[in-house]
Amino acid sequence: MRAHSSVRFLAPLLVALALGAGQHLAAQSPAQGPAESPSALLARVDDQRRVTDFTFVMQMTSFDGDKQVEADTIWGFIKGVGTANRSLVSFAGPASVKGRKLLMDGPVVYLLFPRTTNPIRLSPLQVLLGQASNGDVVRTAFSDDYDVDSLADDDHGGVACYRFTLAVKPTRTDASYRQVVLWVDKEHLHPVYAEFSTGDRLLKQATYSDYRSALGREIPFSVDIHDADNPRKHTVMTYLKVGHKPMADTVFRREYLPSWVPEQPE
């Protein structure tokens, strides 16, 4: 069954979710000042990156050192924000996966192959595995899942930053990472770099870059994620197009998937 042999092709999905569901808003009003609590500041970082009804075309390129291992192009639609998002995703390339469509609504995941009408139920883990675990790295609505342990001033790549040290909330036992250290550009409230760990062991490193104005926001068009266990391996996720398109809540149904016609953003 190709559904189960194609898990690697699902890798971009959560990444796309993450990027689409939590775009960072341009800093209309950066830090409010010393009176603002660290938690409130973090919540503002999250709150300002909300884009709902988000459509996109994304290129996912995985590398082993300098060698490109695979490259996938996906078209997608995301409704909602943070961990509450729901998505429809279509694979546009390479040819061996073209035409596959995927629905994610919380733990409900269905994959549909071309020329069939039987969406196959997948477990969330089948989407999370492999490079898709990068999705956890970038999708995080930090204030939803983490408490601020500490906040300090720091410098990252010559940019003045807030450095948040975050610990997973006791209620979020399902979170993939127990601790996150997040560097946020003070001037724009852009996350620029993050380290995701178990608390003892570093797992992922994410670099957010190429912020561009789109949809009235400042969106990181590129995220480069390194696997801490194997630093040679990394995945670059790049938006090719982004857009906004309202869709009904009912489209996130198994029965809708065969009828869904993916569209590129205007």
Partner 1 sequence: MKTLTVAAAALAVAATTLLPGAAGALDGQLLLDAVPTAALVQQAPSAPWMQAETTELAAQGAVSHTQALAEGLSLSGSVWALADTLPSGSPLSTPPAKLDLESRVLELKLTWEALPGTLIVDGGKLLIHPSSGFFRTPLNIISHAALGTTTNLSGSAVGTWEEGWVGARATLLVGNLTVSNFFSPRLDWSDAADSVLAYVSSRQPDYQDLSRVTLRVGATDLQVLGLVSTGGPGSADPDVHVTAGAGMDTGIGDAITVRAEVSAADSTSRLAPGSTQLPLAVVTQSVAWAPRALAGFTWTGADQLTVMAEYYYDGAGFGGSDYRQLISYSQALRGAPGAGPDLLDQFGTFSAGQHYGFVRIAGPVDTTLSAAAWTTVNLQDFSGLSAVVLTATFDQWTLGASFLDAWGTTDTEAGLSPLLWRVDLEVSLFL
Could you tell me the smallest distance in angstroms from the CB atom of residue 160 to partner 1?
A: 39
Q: Which is nearer to partner 1, 11 or 192 (CB)?
A: 11
Residues between 38 and 77 with contacts to partner 1, criterion CB under 8 A: 69-70
Q: Are 63 and 251 in contact (CB under 8 A)?
A: no
Distance in angstroms (rounded) separating the CA atoms of residues 141 and 47: 9
Could you tell me the smallest distance in angstroms from the CB atom of residue 176 to partner 1?
A: 10
> Taking Cα atoms as reference points, which of 83, 74, 88, 11 lies closest to residue 254?
88
Q: Which is nearer to partner 1, 42 or 257 (CB)?
A: 257
User: Any contact of residue 160 with partner 1 (CB under 8 A)?
Assistant: no
**Site map (CB under 8 A) of partner 1, residues 113-152, x = contact:** -xxxxx-xxxxxxx-xxx----------------------
Number of residues that bind partner 1 (CB under 8 A): 50
DSSP state of 83: G
Distance in angstroms (rounded) separating the CA atoms of residues 41 and 37: 6
Distance in angstroms (rounded) separating the CA atoms of residues 108 and 88: 12
How would you class 192 by CB atoms within 10 Å of its CB: exposed for 0-12, middle for 13-18, buried for 19 or more? buried
Q: Which is nearer to partner 1, 2 or 212 (CB)?
A: 2
Considering only the stretches 86-94, 133-141, 219-227, 234-242, report the one whose residues sit in contact with partner 1 under the rule CB under 8 A: 86-94
Q: Report the Cα 199 to chain-centroid distance in Å.
A: 21
Could you tell me the smallest distance in angstroms from the CB atom of residue 135 to partner 1?
A: 13
**Site map (CB under 8 A) of partner 1, residues 167-196, x = contact:** -------x----------------------
Considering only the stretches 25-33, 45-53, 158-166, 242-250, report the one whose residues sit in contact with partner 1 under the rule CB under 8 A: 242-250
**Site map (CB under 8 A) of partner 1, residues 91-120, x = contact:** -xxxxx-xx------xxx-----xxxxx-x
Considering only the stretches 41-49, 89-97, 147-155, 222-230, report the one whose residues sit in contact with partner 1 under the rule CB under 8 A: 89-97
Distance in angstroms (rounded) separating the CA atoms of residues 59 and 23: 17
Q: Three-state SS across 137-201?
A: HHHCCHHHHEEEEEEEEEEECCEEEEEEEEEECCCCCCCCCCEEEEEEECCCCCEEEEEEECCCC
Distance in angstroms (rounded) separating the CA atoms of residues 266 and 260: 17
SS3 state at 33: coil
**Site map (CB under 8 A) of partner 1, residues 247-266, x = contact:** xxxxx-xxxx-xx-xxx---
User: Any contact of residue 32 with partner 1 (CB under 8 A)?
Assistant: no
Q: Which is nearer to partner 1, 231 or 258 (CB)?
A: 258
Q: Are 111 and 3 in contact (CB under 8 A)?
A: yes
Q: Are 188 and 199 in contact (CB under 8 A)?
A: no
Binding site for partner 1 (CB under 8 A): 1-2, 4-8, 69-70, 90, 92-96, 98-99, 106-108, 114-118, 120-126, 128-130, 174, 247-251, 253-256, 258-259, 261-263
